[in-house]
Amino acid sequence: MKIVILGGVAAGAKAAAKARRILPDAQIDLYTDDTHISYSACGLPYYIEGNFEDYKLLLVRSPEEFEQNNVHIHLQNRAIKILPSSKQVLIQSLTSPEAFLVDYDKLIIAIGASPVIPPIKNVNLNHVYTVRKIEDGIAIREKAEKSKNAVIIGGGYIGIEMLEALVKQNLNVTLIEYSNTIMQTFDDDMSQLILEQLNFINEGRFNILTSEIATEFSGDNEGVKSVKTGSGKEFPADLVVLCAGVRPNTAIAVEAGIEIGVTGAIKVNEKMETNIKDIYACGDCVEENLLITNSKIWLPLGTNANKEGRTAAINACGGEDKFMGVLGSAVTRCLSLTMSMTGIGVKMAEQLGIETVFAKVSKDDKVGYMPDVNNITLKLIADKKTGKLLGCQGVGAGDADKRVNTVTSALLAGLTVEEFHRNDLTYAPPFSPTIDPLLNAAQILISKLSKS
């Protein structure tokens, strides 16, 4: 058995490790255009922030470790064409002019996603960065440690994490977001709350601009010096970080005749099979099933990539496994503020034609006399017709994420709000009020549903 894996990091590396455990005698080759094989890309902002000194702590497995298990790692080798009819892949070396064909019995595509580069004038100036690979993190941190001013383009998850990282490196930071608020995956009222709370804890360390577009970078041969916006503003910048999102890498799949889904990512079934026999796909290049609505979503997260890589490997090796889908769960932090969500919010529900009812509460996350008590705001959403829970969003300096994590299990079980309200949540003063804010929200939601 010859198993060829295209791409590393989370999905590809997981697939390689799992395939080796299942088939000790299979020939396994992994090709990646990266300089590292298995690492925590999600940890890059925290390395840039200065939480730890050695970037090697981000490395999960080295090529040498894989080779010790007879998994052959080919760094800086890019797959440029898949030939399903002959079961071959054309590989281009990035360190020499050499290109060569490799045969496969089973092919696993884990080629990930690439940062979106906005159409900004002079976007190719030096010290304009994206945050995707180990080299990105090293370069940004080195530049940040000897800089005064930074500009971030984009106010999503990575933009918010980079805001914290650069503020903690003592830079003056300006974040520019083209829409009217940041963190657009949340409902608008929760996004606005995030913006308000970040501005409240700001203390002059950063500036968040919404409804503003970066149009031009100014600089010289040394690099970027300032950022101009469509409204005529200009901000000094020793470095710029582009956080305008990512898009799935699909070109090689499209050319091979592999079907692309409604989200623009590769379409796979529960076994991570594509429409072409013996070709599987996993990770940031594929779309997932959103379990709440049984619709398609593209959610490029390391957690999903690991699970999908495992499933792809099991099935490619002749086993039987299914990855049923995702709940849309996510969490991040900026300074002292936690932002977390699971399921769907009112905004997405409306887009899908689902009528909703929601309850929103702001409460202390533990008993008020505890020294580390903090406020959280929870928004609990339900289907107006069925009473089933649809999602939860949490924001605050307190433990919002653990409440959201509680709701994920309820969503997986398909509980109604009534059923969820019977939940026997733990209580002690350092952990929760006697009635948890989550149950407060559920009680309000029950009342609203009974009147609807």
Statement to judge: residues 254 and 173 lie in one domain: no
Centre a 10 Å sphere on the Cβ of residue 377 and count the other Cβ atoms it contains: 21
Strand, helix or coil for residue 136:
helix
Q: Which residues 6+ apart lie within 8 Å of 96 measured at CB?
A: none
Please report whether residue 168 resides in a domain.
Answer: yes
Give me the mean pLDDT over the 323-348 stretch. Answer: 96
Looking at the fold, whether 272 and 345 belong to one and the same domain comes out as no
Q: Are 157 and 165 in contact (CB under 8 A)?
A: no
Which pLDDT tens digit goes with each residue over 93-116? 999 999 999 999 999 999 999 999
Task: Work out the average pLDDT over 368-382.
Answer: 96
CA distance 37 to 29: 12
Do residues 11 and 98 both lie within one domain?
yes
8 and 106 share one domain = yes
Same domain, 277 and 366: no
Yes or no: say if 258 and 233 are a contact pair by the CB < 8 Å rule.
no
State whether 301 and 343 are in the same domain.
no
> In the predicted model, what is the mean pLDDT of residues 174-190?
96
The verdict on residue 51 lying in a domain is no
Q: Which is nearest to 264 in space by CA: 240, 246, 239, 277?
A: 246
Of 281, 401, 283, the C-alpha closest to 339 is 401
Distance CA 278, CA 94 (A): 27
State whether 240 and 253 are in the same domain. Answer: no
Q: List the catalytic residue out of 42, 243, 317, 334.
A: 42
Q: Does a structural domain hold residue 392?
A: yes
In this prediction, residue 21 carries a pLDDT of 97
pLDDT exceeds 80 at position 203: no
pLDDT in tens, 206-260: 999 999 999 999 999 999 999 999 999 999 999 999 999 999 999 999 999 999 9
- Find the CATH number of the domain harbouring 154: 3.50.50.60
- For residues 304-309, give the mean pLDDT: 97
- 386 contact partners, CB below 8 Å, separation of at least 6: 416
Percent of all residues in the chain with a pLDDT value above 90, rounded to a whole number: 98
Q: Does a structural domain hold residue 321?
A: no
The enclosing domain of 439 has a CATH number of 3.30.390.30
pLDDT confidence of residue 389: 98
Cα–Cα distance for residue pair 445/357, rounded to 1 Å? 7
Number of neighbours of residue 238 by Cβ within 10 angstroms: 20
- For 48, half-sphere exposure in the C-beta direction (CA atoms, 13 angstrom radius) is 31
Q: What is the pLDDT of residues 417-427, one digit of tens each?
A: 999 999 999 99
Residue 402 is assigned to a structural domain of this protein: yes
**8 Å CB contact between 282 and 307:** no
Which residue's structure tokens are 């990575």? 158
Per-residue confidence (pLDDT) for residue 223, from 0 to 100: 97
Q: Is the domain of 105 the same as that of 166?
A: no
Helix (H) or strand (E) holding 210: none
Residues 109 and 138 in one domain: no
H helices, E strands: number in the chain:
12, 27
Rounded CA-CA distance 420/443 in Å is 10
Q: What is the pLDDT of residues 262-293, one digit of tens each?
A: 999 999 999 999 999 999 999 999 999 999 99
Same domain, 65 and 89: yes
CA dist., res. 251 & res. 258, Å (int)? 10
Say which residues have a Cβ less than 8 Å from residue 447's Cβ, sequence separation at least 6: none
Please tell me whether residues 208 and 271 are part of one structural domain: no
Among residues 271, 286, 316, the one where a domain terminates is 316
In a domain, 328, yes or no: no
Does residue 42 carry a catalytic annotation? yes
pLDDT at residue 364 in the model:
96
118 with 130: CB under 8 angstroms? no
Last residue in a domain, options 263, 283, 316: 316
Sign of CA pseudo-dihedral 39, 42, 43, 49: positive
Q: Which residues fall within 8 angstroms of residue 327, CB to CB, at 6 or more apart?
A: 290, 291, 292, 342, 343, 408, 411, 412
Task: Quote the domain boundaries for residue 379.
Answer: 337-451
Together in a domain, 239 and 300: no
The tally of domains found in the chain comes to 3
- Look at residue 330 and tell me if it is in a domain: no
452: pLDDT strictly greater than 90? no
Q: Which of 244, 275, 295 is the last residue of a domain?
A: 244
Residue 283: Cβ-neighbour burial (10 angstroms; 0-12, 13-18, 19+)? buried
Average pLDDT of 394-422?
A: 96
Q: Within a domain: residue 322? A: no
Q: How confident is the model at residue 205 (pLDDT cuts 50, 70, 90)?
A: confident
